[in-house]
Amino acid sequence: MPRRRRGAALGHAGSARGAAGGGERDIGLDEAVVSELAALPYEQAGPLLNERLAGGLRPTLFLAQLSNLMAGNISIVHGVTGSSRTFMGEEAAGADAVRIAAARLAEGRGGIALVGGAYVAGRWDMLLIYALSGLLRRGAWAPLAERAGAAQGGGMVMGSVGAFLVLETRSHAQARRARGLAELIVVATGAARRTGEDTARDSAAALVGNMRSLLRPGYAVVSGASGAAGPTEEEAGFLADLRDAGPEQGPVLHTAETMGHAVEASFPASLALAALALGRPEAPPQALVTGFGVWRGEALALLEPARDGRGAR
């Protein structure tokens, strides 16, 4: 599997399925090309660009650039040979990968799925995109709460993360005597346009509508807030509304605080950490996992400790 790429992948029952973003570029080649050609008029630069790329690109790198080949490589390495789907679209891709995998298990299309994502932060071709947004934190690392808002250049620190989950129906897990880490009660995604009154805060509130009656006092929040000023404030507002409406809210953990923001991998990683936390003796009764995309996409999941120490529904 290529060491550097971003994306989210999801696997399914005796079959593979996945979701992803773009892969690595040849940074040195890109820099050499723009250094030589940027100042030339298009008529001159076009043919020279072809010449430099034809001489400089390598076939192996192309394969690392195709989003779906993360899932393809997982199929090869882990022998996942059923279906394989690769979703694209930043944070939402990771969240919808989980939602759709869970929906397929719930309707009986297979008993087990592999779902997750990976993102590599420490590359200029990746950072360039988020630099454009103006939302990256400048200067030294600081706790999320202390990061400057958009006025000071944004508060997002990216993080390299790979996170995959095995989702399994209870009967499938029981048949192979597997212990469940946690039970996935609900997962839902939303799409606020984030203009006017169509806010991310309201979108998340609509998602929580169906699960509000399921919330129990002391539920923990595993927040995927990115640190990007706007959506992070929206998420804080949503959590405050939720706290005010009750029941009593337990501890709130921001995964980007320790891992950085991992885009496609963010939601799967938060889910994985929540599942692990719920397996501990002093665990809260539930974990509400949130995901607020930097640009678009809201996601929520509710997890509970595995009943009878066994698998998901």
Partner 1 sequence: MISSRDHLGRPVVAVTGVGLVTPLGVGVAESWGGLLGGRSGIRRITRFPVDHLKTTIAGSVDLPGDDAEGEAVPASVRVERFAALAAEEALAGAGAGILVDGRFPGPLFLGMPPVEVAWSLRMELARRAGNGGPVRYGAMAEAGIGSQQAFEACLFGGVGERLAVRFGTRGLPVSLSTACATGASAIQMGVEAVQRGEARTALCIGAEGTVEAESLIRFSLLSALSTRNEDPARASRPFERTRDGFVMAEGAAALVLENLEDARARGATVLGLVLGCGERADSFHRTRSNPDGGAIIGAMRSAIADAGLEPGDIGYVNAHGTGTPENDKMETLGMRAVFGDAPPPISSNKSMIGHTLSAAGAIEAVFSLLTMRDGRLPPTINHETPDPAINLDVVPNDAREAKVERVLSNSFGFGGQNVCLVLGAAPEG
Select from 133, 171, 210, 258 the one that contacts partner 1 (CB under 8 A). 133
Whole-angstrom CA distances from 215 to 182, 272, 301 are 16, 19, 11
Size of the site for partner 1 (CB under 8 A): 81
Q: Which among 29-37, 163-171, 177-185, 279-287 is the span making contact with partner 1, rule CB under 8 A?
A: 29-37
Residue 151 contacts partner 1 per CB under 8 A: no
**Sign of dihedral through CA atoms 88, 93, 98, 100?**
negative
Q: Which among 12-20, 155-163, 210-218, 242-250 is the span making contact with partner 1, rule CB under 8 A?
A: 12-20
Q: Among residues 161, 94, 154, which one has the least CA distance to residue 130?
A: 154
Select from 9, 16, 274, 312 the one that contacts partner 1 (CB under 8 A). 16
The encoded tokens of residue 130 equal 């988020």
Interface positions, 272-301, toward partner 1 (CB under 8 A): 293, 295-297
Residue with tokens 């009967």: 171
Residue with Cβ nearer partner 1 (163 or 220):
163
Interface positions, 206-265, toward partner 1 (CB under 8 A): none
**Counting beta carbons within 10 angstroms of the beta carbon of residue 292, is it exposed (0 to 12), middle (13 to 18) or buried (19 or more)?**
buried
**Sign of dihedral through CA atoms 200, 226, 263, 104?**
negative
Residue 53 contacts partner 1 per CB under 8 A: yes
Residue with Cβ nearer partner 1 (66 or 253):
66
- Minimum CB–partner distance for residue 135 and partner 1 (Å): 9
Interface positions, 72-131, toward partner 1 (CB under 8 A): 72-73, 75-76, 79-90, 92-93, 95-96, 100, 103-104, 107, 109, 124-125, 127-131
Residue 59 contacts partner 1 per CB under 8 A: yes
CB-hemisphere CA count at 13 Å for 92?
A: 13
Amino acid of residue 200: A
Is residue 181 within 8 A of residue 164, CB to CB? The reply is no
